[in-house]
């Protein structure tokens, strides 16, 4: 981990060392595969399908997780407790990596994206596809009541009553309270529509089968019994339904834009508008963040914002892009672009094998009251005649004993990728460019998708190789034959087939609807799987070395030029489509699970004999793979054990579908080689078909590759043009930079992510309408505490949270209205931790036109070195460091007032925490001078409630930065406990906070820093080293016994016989007791009386209750 963190700097050497470490730590990096041509060192290029295990993660699992493994359905034992902690932290780590908030549910579910999509479909079916709480009332049993909310601290809130509750059990009890029942009786559904709900699913043409087929199958369940389909060319079922949910569903696959190879956004807009115009209709868009065929990436933020403009639901499949870009589910600079549902496949990441699938969805969408999979661990109570389920959306959908190790491994995988600097991915772009430029020079290699390295492309390449019997056309080499050659000659692990993206692949291959139907008929009736169209796919990963990329480039180039000569050495299976070397013995070379036995059982003579026979002889892999391939080509037909060309045969093919034979056969190459020709051709006798008459074979493939991209032209969907005719240099379609590898001429703004769409802030986020009530509260506090004076230069401490952002906008509004002239600037402290990324604030401040300072320092790393063991509070250390950096910025740039965003709730919580834990009458101050007397610190939100700030931020869609402190993964702290207590008391006493506000006036009005009042602070039992309240980690300090001595010495000096009393210092400047006795001691008495009265009042209320 130290090596990974060290590479966070832009130093190229550190990044290269990091890549080298990850490459060497990959499990199986030196694995040797046995092939018909000898042994080869494995070169893995199939990260698009699955990642590789990492020793760093596997070692942690073996050393730290498995020894403490236990079932997570209890916390009473050490193993169960630690496993639960690991699993909960894993959920938090993944949420942070994806920028998910407390409004997002993250559910661990089964097998990758497929499991996630089926989980989402099951949840929506269980809730009868009710997307919002406005569509139902609380008496319905198929949905939850919709009032339970989880806050960012992990506790709960009743949105109907506005009260916070610690646990879900407390919420269940709260539902039976008199006030809740009274409000519930007046609750009515806000949507008057009571007819048939019509769900239209808009699918991406690039969609993986897993994100398309589940919705197609739903059309058979939710048939159109009373209405016509909204979209005339959608897929739906008509007839009589017995489903009581009153839902009708149709699925429409969006059109492709031939110029870009992506979905047609015009078609998407028109379909969304058509659905929005129908009453009771909802659009659910299931789109792919990237293609697993071409690597083209969608502009997720822009398309999500477009979908939301028409009231649709944006669901994104991130399976193909998992290892190539970092998703941002809630872009802080683009609130409209928050993803509603996301499907993830962590097993495709480095270290990912053995991890689980992920479903991330807005909690407001998870309306089902009954889990998709009912079982143990998700029930609240079960009796002989009934049962009820828990309402926490994340826990409710993870019934039974989960894949605990898989969940924890998922957290470790995302923890690793969270530590990686963005510059690591640049190596993938370099490798992609090298492959494309190398293969562009070989006319037999046809790359699917744009041949250029476009900015919106991941390092995924699919291609086909021509046989070469006709220039620029002719037949292809079968994809499984190419994959077999890459494995046998070079050890390269590639993938052949349709990549589970049949419709998109058929478009790229020029296969129209009629030809697709003919292939479908052939496969269905003749079982000739070998005729299925497909391609070869490889990928570049950041763990691949330059040598690996060169091997891949040279190997594919060699296969395209010389590979056809080895066709006679291979044969294929008609039923499976697999190709294999004629002399290969894969069943003998394989490993067996049953061959691995405990050492005590290896004494069996039979087992010893089996092991001795199965051990391969040691053999070194060749260094020069191209030379080895040339040698294999020479020795295959003329070596010690040659394969006779005359014995080449082909399995029988169905003559009825002879026109669908799009690839060269082994007999074709054998006939050419026997004749001594150097140019590929077809056998004179033709292929062996199951027919008594001679069957004519086509000279060219029935389909030809088309290439979308900047130089693509519109093609007729009903024809398959030759590959040489698919490019039109006269038509140049400019592509916008999307989400990967963008290299614009202008440098991106500091903190921006290359390749991401420019932030699009809502108008309300730029010029929000600050309500008069909020302005009045802030302006009143400023006037009462004299916070802002003529000519002041304000610096707003901007964390990116709702409080500081709201305060900034209120101050900017007051600046325009106030007769007092002052300036406003902002500053953010970046602690340089992966868990907190305030960089998006840079663009936002530029958009607002506010002078901005971005201050960076590795605070957590500094805390490890400089934290005082006697006061081990990371929060206090971090707060002091941030305050010091802000003070330095103010002195350097001439600011004199620091504005902090603490609100009334913070003041009240600090007041009670200091009283109960430290025995001190103390809270934050509204306006005071620092010790040096050159700067002031003020808190304009002292009279504003937190819920007011949250409502303002939500209504105006401010770009809030998620706060994920690495020190806060544990359970809620003391401050949160106080917050819950105050919320419950406020439920009974609505004016509680305003009463506390009056009670705290003497404390908040102190206008000096505590450091200059050491004698006063010690008298009150405070800590002279701090100028702010200490959090829950602060020391418990009791009020000392203050006694006025009878001598003429300093009244606060301890008496000689009072050695056991705390040592107190004298007032500054030798002040006498007579100078402050009347005023200061009166303040002590007054604050003590107020505090005692408040505690008595709270005790009486609790007793009365």
Reported as a single tens digit per residue, the pLDDT across 1012-1071 is 444 444 444 444 334 444 333 333 333 333 333 333 433 333 333 333 333 333 333 333
1094, 929, 1096, 915: which is closest to 1021 by C-alpha? Answer: 915
The CA R_g of the chain, rounded to the nearest whole Å, is 35
Does residue 338 surpass a pLDDT of 80?
yes
Strand extents, DSSP E, 761-896: 793-797, 823-830, 851-856
For the ranges 39-43, 586-590, 608-612, 886-890, which has the lowest average pLDDT? 608-612
- pLDDT for 1070 equals 37
The predicted pLDDT at position 742 comes to: 32
Res. 729 pLDDT band, cuts 50 70 90: very low
Could you tell me the pLDDT band of residue 132, with boundaries at 50, 70 and 90? low
Q: What pLDDT, on the 0 to 100 scale, is given for residue 472?
A: 83
CB contact set of 820 (below 8 Å; sequence gap of 6+): 788, 789, 790
Mean pLDDT lowest for which of 278-282, 287-291, 386-390, 478-482?
386-390
Q: Using 50, 70 and 90 to split pLDDT, how confident is the model at 374?
A: confident
Q: How does DSSP classify residue 225?
A: S
The predicted model gives 767-791 an average pLDDT of: 93
Matching residue, tokens 């994959």: 483
At 548, the pLDDT band (50, 70, 90 cuts) reads: very high
- Token pair 């529509």 is found at 193
Joined tokens for residue 988: 């009974």
- Residue 1075: pLDDT band (50, 70, 90) is very low
- Average pLDDT of span 122-140: 70
Nearest CA-CA partner of 247 in 278, 226, 270, 277: 226
Which two three-digit tokens encode residue 4?
Answer: 């990974």
Rounded to an integer, the average pLDDT of 609-614 is 59
Contact between 792 and 760 (Cβ < 8 Å): no
How would residue 194 be classed by pLDDT, with cut points 50, 70 and 90?
low
Average pLDDT over residues 119-123: 92
Confidence tier at 872 by pLDDT (50, 70, 90):
low
**Least confident piece of the model among 8-22, 607-621, 916-930:** 607-621
> What average pLDDT does this structure show over 276-286?
92
Three-state SS string over 637-682 comes to HHCCCCCCHHHCCCCCECHHHHHHCCECCHHHHHHHHHHCCCCCCC
Least Cα distance to 893 among 760, 781, 772, 794 occurs for 794
- The confidence score (pLDDT) of residue 970 equals 46
Return d(Cα 716, Cα 718) in angstroms, integer. Answer: 5
**Token digits for 787?**
């916070």
pLDDT score for 280? 85
Segment 118-138 shows an average pLDDT of 77
CA within 13 Å, CB half, 1058: 15
Mean pLDDT of 155-176: 76
Helices (H) and strands (E) in the chain, counts: 34, 30
Identify the pLDDT of residue 750. 32
Mean pLDDT of 957-978: 68
Higher pLDDT, residue 1032 or 363: 363
Share above pLDDT 70 across residues of the chain, in percent, rounded to a whole number = 79
pLDDT at 204 exceeding the cut of 80: yes
Q: What is the pLDDT of residues 465-517, one digit of tens each?
A: 999 899 888 999 999 999 999 999 999 999 999 888 888 888 899 999 999 99
pLDDT band at 1103, cuts 50/70/90?
low
pLDDT of 878 over the 70 cut: yes
Query: How far is the C-alpha of 489 from the C-alpha of 35, rounded, in Å?
Result: 8
Per-residue pLDDT averaged across 50-73, rounded? 93
pLDDT of residue 412: 96
What's the pLDDT at 7? Answer: 41
Mean pLDDT in the chain? 80
Q: Which of 45, 41, 46 is nearest to 628 (CA)?
A: 41
Q: CB neighbours (10 Å) of residue 880?
A: 16
| Residue position matching structure tokens 């690597």 | 295
Q: List the one residue out of 923, 946, 939 whose CA is nearest residue 803.
A: 946
Q: What is the pLDDT of residues 745-762, one digit of tens each?
A: 333 333 333 344 566 788
pTM of the model: 0.79
User: Which tokens in the block code for residue 609?
Assistant: 């004999």
Q: pLDDT tens, 794-841?
A: 999 999 889 999 999 999 999 999 999 999 999 999 888 767 778 889
All residues at 6 or more sequence positions from 776 whose CB lies less than 8 Å from its CB, including other chains: none
């Amino acid at each position: 981990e130290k090596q990974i963190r060290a590479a966070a700097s832009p130093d190229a050497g550190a990044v290269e060392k990091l890549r080298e470490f990850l490459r060497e730590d990959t499990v199986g990096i030196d694995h040797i595969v046995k092939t018909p041509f000898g042994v080869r060192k494995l070169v893995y290029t199939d990260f698009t399908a699955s990642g590789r295990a990492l020793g760093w993660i596997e070692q942690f699992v073996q050393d730290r997780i498995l020894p403490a493994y236990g079932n997570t359905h209890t916390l009473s034992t050490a193993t169960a407790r630690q496993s639960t902690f690991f699993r909960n932290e894993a959920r938090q780590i993944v949420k942070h990596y994806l920028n998910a908030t407390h409004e997002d549910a993250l559910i661990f579910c089964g097998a990758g994206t497929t499991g996630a999509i089926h989980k989402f479909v099951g949840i929506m079916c269980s809730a009868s596809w009710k997307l919002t709480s406005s569509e139902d009332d609380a008496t319905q049993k198929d949905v939850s009541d919709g009032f339970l909310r989880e806050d960012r601290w992990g506790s709960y809130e009743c949105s109907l009553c506005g009260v916070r509750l610690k646990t879900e059990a407390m919420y269940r009890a709260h539902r039976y309270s008199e006030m809740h029942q009274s409000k519930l009786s007046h609750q009515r559904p806000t949507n008057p529509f009571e007819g048939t709900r019509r769900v239209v699913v808009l699918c991406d043409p690039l969609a993986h089968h897993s994100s398309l087929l589940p919705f197609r199958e739903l059309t058979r369940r939710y048939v159109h019994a009373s209405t016509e389909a909204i979209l005339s060319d959608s897929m739906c079922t008509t007839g009589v339904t017995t489903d009581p949910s009153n839902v009708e569903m149709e699925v429409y696959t969006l059109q492709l834009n031939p110029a870009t190879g992506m979905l047609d956004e015009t078609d998407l807009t028109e379909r969304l508008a058509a659905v929005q115009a129908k009453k009771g209709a909802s659009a659910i868009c299931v789109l792919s963040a990237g293609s697993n065929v071409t690597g083209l990436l969608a502009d997720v933020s822009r398309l999500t914002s477009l979908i939301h403009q028409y009231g649709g639901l944006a669901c994104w499949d991130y399976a193909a892009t998992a290892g190539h870009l970092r998703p941002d589910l809630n872009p802080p600079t683009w609130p409209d672009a928050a993803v509603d549902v996301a499907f993830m496949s962590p097993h495709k990441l480095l270290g990912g094998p053995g991890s689980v699938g992920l479903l991330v969805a807005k909690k407001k969408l998870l309306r089902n009251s009954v889990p998709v999979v009912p079982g143990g661990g998700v029930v609240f109570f079960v009796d002989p005649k009934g049962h009820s389920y828990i309402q926490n959306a994340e826990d409710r959908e993870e019934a039974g004993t989960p894949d605990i190790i898989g969940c924890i491994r998922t957290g470790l995988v995302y923890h690793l990728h969270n530590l990686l600097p963005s510059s690591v991915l640049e190596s993938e772009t370099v490798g992609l460019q090298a492959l494309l430029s190398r293969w562009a020079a070989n006319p037999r290699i046809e790359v699917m998708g744009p041949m250029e390295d476009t900015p919106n492309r991941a390092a995924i390449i699919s291609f086909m190789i021509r046989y070469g019997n006709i220039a620029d056309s002719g037949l292809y080499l079968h994809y499984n034959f190419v994959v077999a050659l890459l494995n046998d000659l070079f050890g390269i692990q590639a993938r052949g087939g349709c990549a589970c993206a049949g419709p998109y692949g058929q478009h790229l291959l020029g296969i129209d609807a009629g030809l697709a139907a003919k292939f479908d008929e052939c496969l269905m009736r003749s079982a000739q799987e070998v005729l299925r169209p497909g391609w070869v796919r490889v990928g570049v990963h950041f763990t691949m070395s330059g040598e690996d990329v060169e091997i891949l480039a040279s190997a594919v180039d060699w296969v395209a030029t010389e590979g056809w000569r080895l066709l006679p050495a291979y044969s294929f299976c008609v039923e499976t489509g697999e190709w294999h070397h004629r002399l290969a013995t894969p069943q003998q070379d394989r490993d067996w699970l049953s061959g691995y036995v405990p050492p005590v059982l290896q004494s069996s003579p039979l087992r010893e004999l089996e092991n001795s026979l199965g051990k391969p002889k040691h053999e070194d892999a060749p260094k020069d793979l191209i030379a080895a391939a040339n040698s294999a080509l020479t020795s295959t037909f003329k070596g010690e054990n040659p394969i006779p060309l005359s014995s080449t045969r082909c399995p029988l093919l169905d003559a009825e579908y002879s026109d669908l034979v799009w690839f060269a056969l082994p007999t074709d190459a054998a006939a050419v080689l026997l004749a001594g020709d150097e140019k590929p051709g077809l056998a004179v006798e033709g292929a062996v078909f199951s027919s008594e008459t001679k069957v004519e074979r086509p000279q060219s493939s029935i389909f030809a590759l088309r290439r979308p991209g900047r130089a693509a032209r519109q093609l007729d969907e009903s024809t398959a043009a030759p590959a040489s005719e698919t490019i039109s240099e006269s038509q140049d379609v400019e592509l916008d930079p999307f989400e990967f590898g963008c290299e614009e001429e202008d440098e991106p703004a500091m903190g921006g992510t290359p390749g991401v769409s420019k932030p699009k802030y809502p108008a309300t986020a730029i010029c929000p309408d600050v309500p008069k009530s909020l302005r009045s509260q802030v302006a009143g506090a400023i006037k009462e505490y004299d916070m802002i004076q003529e000519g002041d230069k304000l610096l707003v401490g901007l964390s990116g949270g709702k409080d500081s952002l709201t305060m900034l906008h209120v101050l900017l509004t007051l600046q325009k209205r106030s007769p007092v002239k002052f300036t406003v600037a902002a500053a953010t402290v970046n602690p340089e931790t992966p868990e907190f990324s305030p960089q998006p604030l840079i663009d936002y401040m530029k958009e607002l036109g506010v002078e901005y300072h971005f201050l960076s320092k590795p605070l957590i790393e500094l805390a490890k070195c400089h934290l005082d063991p006697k006061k081990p509070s990371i929060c206090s250390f971090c707060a002091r460091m941030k305050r010091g950096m802000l003070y330095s910025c103010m002195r350097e740039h001439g600011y004199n007032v620091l504005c902090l965003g603490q609100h009334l709730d913070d003041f009240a919580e600090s007041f009670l925490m200091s009283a109960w834990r430290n025995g001190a009458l103390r809270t934050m101050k509204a306006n005071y001078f620092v010790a040096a007397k050159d700067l002031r610190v003020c808190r304009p939100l002292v009279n504003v409630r937190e819920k007011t700030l949250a409502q303002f931020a939500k209504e105006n869609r401010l770009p809030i930065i998620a706060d994920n402190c690495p020190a806060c993964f544990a359970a809620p702290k003391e401050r949160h406990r106080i917050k819950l207590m105050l919320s419950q008391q406020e439920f009974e006493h609505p004016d509680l906070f305003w009463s506390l506000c009056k009670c705290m006036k003497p404390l908040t009005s102190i206008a000096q820093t505590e450091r200059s009042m050491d004698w006063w602070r010690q008298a009150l039992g405070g800590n002279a080293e701090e100028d702010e309240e200490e959090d829950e980690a602060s020391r418990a300090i009791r009020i000392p016994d203050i006694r006025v001595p009878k001598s003429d010495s300093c009244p606060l000096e301890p008496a000689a016989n009072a050695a056991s009393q705390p040592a107190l210092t004298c007032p500054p400047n030798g002040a006498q007791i007579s100078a402050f006795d009347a005023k200061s001691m009166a303040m002590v008495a007054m604050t003590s009386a107020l505090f005692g009265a408040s505690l008595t009042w709270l005790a009486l209320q609790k007793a009365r209750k």
